[in-house]
Amino acid sequence: MDFAKVLLDAVDHGLNVLGATVRQTIYDQIEKMYGLKRESIPEKLDAFHTALTDILGTGAATVERLIAKNLYQRLGLNFTPRVEWTLVEYVEQVKTVVR
Domain ranges of the chain: 3-98
- pLDDT tens figures, 54-74: 999 999 999 999 999 999 999
Has residue 24 got a pLDDT over 80? yes
First-to-final CA distance of the chain: 11
Q: How far apart are CA 57 and CA 70, in angstroms?
A: 21
What's the topology of domain 3-98?
1.10.1200
Q: Which amino acid is at 18?
A: L
3-state secondary structure of 96: helix
**pLDDT above 70 coverage of the chain, percent:** 99
pLDDT band at 75 (very low <50, low <70, confident <90, very high): very high
